[in-house]
Chain A
Amino acid sequence: MRHTQEPVGSKGDGSSAPPDVLDALEAESVYILREAFNRLDKLAMLWSVGKDSNVLLWLTRKAFFGHVPFPVIHIDTSYKIPEMIVFRDRLVKEWGLDLIIGRNEAALAAGMNHKKGRVVCCTALKTEALKQVIGEHGFTGVIAGIRRDEEGTRAKERVFSPRGEKAEWNFRDQPPEFWDQYKTDFPPGTHLRVHPLLHWTELDVWRYIRREAIPVVELYFAKRGQRYRSLGCLPCTGTIKSKAADLDGIIRELESTLVSERSGRAQDREAEDAFERLRADGYM
């Protein structure tokens, strides 16, 4: 793992230069994480083991000087790609994470899978499992690594986004959010989703991973002309054609592609509003 040894803001000649784009993104995310940690009593972070939530964990360690001062939740549908679980358990050990695994055991016992409908399956094994964990632990703040450039409804999200008593997202009437003053007051029984990566793009994430040498699952790198661009459950996540076998390759590929990131995610495409409905119900 590479560590940045450069003094902050210094170019070595004693004068400091204005922060570049990645520095500015990082500083804003750190600010958001620290706001969440200060304002919310019961805080946890969603960790999908994908690239975005790894960046989120990395930023958390930056914000809190090497510590991850809240639990991380992995929603395990049991259909995750096996390499992801191996990678997860390795990082839990290396980084000393307090891991909570969320599984909708009742739905799994009843045989839930994507053949019953992708949106139905996502709702049961992800949204419901997440609601169970939130209810069980009484979390009032859940940090998630979603980004505006991923998808149209996420493009309209707030950094501090309130969820109702049933975890539902009232996207028709979102709170005002400006001047870095976030909604931090909310009635009992409801909670906030906190989105520190909302202002990042896919390319920003990869450039930052390269700069900071953040570990990611090997599945992102091309093997035999195929790679995963976005990670999810095995049955619903497709690979893309790619020659990008390393970070430089991925960044070069993204600098010229016109294909969107979630194109490999089948659940988004069941209907025009499939993702909107998933998210309104409390999906991440």
Chain B
Amino acid sequence: MSRHETAVLGPRAGPRGDTLERLKIAVVGHVDHGKSTLVGRLFHDTNSLPEGKFEAIKEMCDRRGMPFEWAFLMDAFQAERDQGVTIDTAQIWFHTARRDYVIIDAPGHSEFLKNMITGAAKAEAALLVIDAHEGVRAQSRRHGYLLNLLGIEQVCVVVNKMDAVDYGQARFRAVEDEIGAYLGDIGIVPSAVVPVSARAGDNVALPSARMSWYRGPTMTEALDGFSVPPSPVALPLRMPVQDVYKFDNRRIIAGRIETGRLKRGDRLVFSPSNKSAHVATIEVWNARADEACAGQSIGITLDEQLFVERGELASHAEALPVETNVFRAKIFWLAHEALKAGNRYKLKLATSETPVEVQSVDWVINPETLERIKGETVERHGFAELVLRTRSLLALDDHKNNPRTGRFVLVDGYDIAGGGVISMEGYPDQRALVTVKSTNVSSVAHRVTVETRARHNQHQGGVLWFTGLSGAGKSTIALELEQRLFRKGYQVYVLDGDNLRVGLNANLGFSPEDRAENIRRVGEVAALFAEAGFVVITAFISPYRSDRDRARAAAERQGSGNFHEVYVSASLEVCEKRDPKGLYRKARAGKIDQFTGISAPYEAPEAPELTLPTDALSLEECVEAAIDYLERHFRSG
């Protein structure tokens, strides 16, 4: 073979048929800790190098006047060889007696983090390589943190360059303790911590005679100790619609089953459109199928002609995905341009694409110290917790329930700029709120019109929707206002939280879904009062924009359409100091879960019709301002 040969080796799996096992391993860690060298040594010691490869690498090194460099096996670019740094991720195949492996080499230089993620995201297990002499460094931690975000649970730590520390046990234990503590904090328990010298070949494939104090597995044995993660067939069915084909007069819905399984005859619900039909056939070219499961790219036909589009998520009715237009996310950011609250991106989740706005940056995370810092912007290679908002409803899952439909990427312009995993903590599933169960309903027309009532009352009906933190002064202002308006001859009524929870909403608890339903009912009742000619003042924290928007929509649907969002604003510090019901104290003591402002979000109005800053104005001034506003907007003629 030519000395210039640059081919990468294919697997020589032995005559084991087509159904052998294959595991994808990422090799990650700080720059110059010897990842590429380790792969080269692994190939050499397992006799996996292509013929002539060793000689070819030697030639390349001689030409550059440098000692033999194992990294040249995978560093194929001239720039990588000339600069001695891995730029992009590469894959190479080898096998042990146990199974086939795909080894994914990931660059350790911080500049090439996007390439590291590209490689590592494909893996099912990882080797985290740490230099025994240098110890745990910035990218050791960052890569560990990313493995966790990418959902890689099997990790083996390789403490490399033991030759540089005279194969000393004490130094090994120190590194083992340091990385063990860090990984423990992010929830990773390494399957093994192996002392290795890639350059000298200790404990890579062959046990080392120079480290008799070590009793654990060699690195190759540690690889064989990993298991191939089972296909996620046990999770609920999720099949994102990838495309709809009209071949041969059949309407075929194409998609890959991400989790679960489906059978012919199953009733499927497509979210977020909520259309539903039965599977008539499972289409496979040249074959028949009665069922299909996770991992398969299939096509189905339905027993009804539904208009279903790419991006919808098919599932069974018994285990539906969440529907929401707002969710929390833990993200990593890769673009040069920083991410800021208010920025808009394209969100790609499974096969759906949706415009999305960063509603808030809650925490910026330092992956090295795991500190959470208040911040507004996320710089390149940063990590953060955000709240994202889309205009329309999206079908998704909390990442902890279903990783495959609980993660997304953000696209800025032409480029993927970051990725993240979803948490619905504190946010309700909005499906129940938008599901219409009653059909064959038609509204009757009143003979007393809205206009007649307004003339009779000498003012219009409408809703003053108060929103603000607990303790901001909503109820105090509302009750004072009610009394003053009544004296002025207004038909006026206050809807207040506890009063409704005693009756109409007695069957609702305090879960995010129940809270959302509580507000939905208040919105509907307020709309009815408004149509009856009343000025309705509602006094609820109503922390979510989606809920308030729905209340506005209810008022518009009922015909009056007269809806005014009033932001009763006071800083969290002020509210907490007032603490009229002692709730903040209980929340701080951990006695109340999901308390708005402390452990649950408050989404301030973006464009309220009226703001009453109770930390700047007195009660009297606030009430005056409200009456003034009302007289201008509710008086007929």
Scan residues 25-41 of chain B and give those whose CB is less than 8 A from a CB of chain A.
none
Given A156-B89, A176-B114, answer yes or no on A65-B285 (Cβ-Cβ < 8 Å).
yes
Instruction: Give the residue of A4, A155, A259 whose beta carbon is less than 8 angstroms from that of B91.
Output: A155
Given A152-B76, A174-B115, A254-B10, answer yes or no on A181-B416 (Cβ-Cβ < 8 Å).
yes
A96 to B14, CA, bound (A): 38
- Residues of chain A contacted by B288 (CB below 8 angstroms): 5, 7
Q: Is B277 an interface residue (CB 8 A)?
A: no
Instruction: Give the residue of B49, B88, B243 whose beta carbon is less than 8 angstroms from that of A174.
Output: B88
Q: Could you say which of B245-253, B355-363, B610-618 contacts chain A?
A: B245-253
**Closest residue on chain B to residue A158 by CB atoms:** B118
Scan residues 16-30 of chain A and give those whose CB is less than 8 A from a CB of chain B.
16, 18-24, 26-28, 30
Q: Could you say which of A72-80, A100-108, A112-120, A201-209 contacts chain B?
A: A201-209
Proximity bits, B8-27, A CB within 8 Å = 1, else 0: 11111111001111100000
A244 to chain B, nearest CB (A): 14
Interface centre among A8, A153, A269 (most CB of B within 10 A): A8
A269 to B87, CA, bound (A): 23
Contact A9 B293 (CB under 8 A): yes
Contacts between the two chains (Cβ within 8 Å), count: 244
A158 to B91, CA, bound (A): 11
Contact A30 B114 (CB under 8 A): no
Instruction: Give the residue of B22, B242, B409, B411 whose beta carbon is less than 8 angstroms from that of A34.
Output: B242
Contact B289 A202 (CB under 8 A): no
Q: Is B74 an interface residue (CB 8 A)?
A: yes
Q: Could you say which of A42-50, A127-135, A182-190, A215-223 contacts chain B?
A: A182-190
Instruction: Give the residue of B14, B242, B292, B419 whose beta carbon is less than 8 angstroms from that of A8.
Output: B292
Given A149-B92, A156-B88, answer yes or no on A177-B78 (Cβ-Cβ < 8 Å).
no
Contact B118 A149 (CB under 8 A): no
Proximity bits, A259-280, B CB within 8 Å = 1, else 0: 1111100001111111110000
- Residues of chain B contacted by A254 (CB below 8 angstroms): 10, 12
Given A5-B287, A65-B283, answer yes or no on A276-B77 (Cβ-Cβ < 8 Å).
yes
**Closest residue on chain A to residue B409 by CB atoms:** A181
Q: Is A138 an interface residue (CB 8 A)?
A: no
A16 to B293, CA, bound (A): 8
Contact B118 A176 (CB under 8 A): yes
Q: Could you say which of B295-303, B322-330, B456-464, B523-531 contacts chain A?
A: B295-303
Instruction: Give the residue of B21, B92, B297, B414 whose beta carbon is less than 8 angstroms from that of A63.
Output: B297
A70 to chain B, nearest CB (A): 13
Given A149-B92, A272-B4, answer yes or no on A155-B118 (Cβ-Cβ < 8 Å).
no
Interface centre among B22, B74, B285 (most CB of A within 10 A): B285
A101 to chain B, nearest CB (A): 27
Contact B289 A269 (CB under 8 A): no
**Closest residue on chain B to residue A6 by CB atoms:** B287
- Residues of chain A contacted by B63 (CB below 8 angstroms): 272
- Residues of chain B contacted by A183 (CB below 8 angstroms): 414-416
A19 to chain B, nearest CB (A): 5
Proximity bits, B391-420, A CB within 8 Å = 1, else 0: 000000000000000011101011110010
Closest 9 CB pairs of A and B: A152-B76, A260-B7, A178-B121, A176-B114, A8-B289, A20-B19, A30-B297, A155-B90, A258-B51
Given A37-B243, A269-B4, A276-B76, 13 additional A-B pairs, CB 8 A = A4-B286, A18-B293, A19-B231, A65-B248, A66-B247, A176-B419, A179-B419, A201-B93, A255-B13, A260-B9, A260-B10, A263-B1, A268-B7
* Sample of 25 A–B contacts (CB below 8 Å): A7-B289, A8-B296, A18-B230, A19-B293, A21-B18, A21-B19, A31-B256, A37-B243, A38-B310, A63-B297, A64-B247, A65-B245, A65-B283, A149-B9, A149-B91, A153-B77, A176-B117, A178-B419, A179-B419, A255-B13, A258-B9, A259-B50, A260-B1, A268-B7, A272-B6
- B residues near A (Cβ < 8 Å) are 1-2, 4-15, 18-22, 49-51, 60, 63, 74, 76-79, 87-93, 100, 102, 114-115, 117-118, 121-122, 150, 230-231, 233, 242-243, 245, 247-248, 252, 254, 256, 261, 282-293, 295-299, 310, 334, 346, 348, 407-409, 411, 413-416, 419
- A residues near B (Cβ < 8 Å) are 3-10, 16, 18-24, 26-28, 30-31, 34-35, 37-38, 61-67, 148-153, 155-156, 158, 171-172, 174-179, 181, 183, 185-187, 199, 201-203, 207, 211, 252, 254-263, 268-276
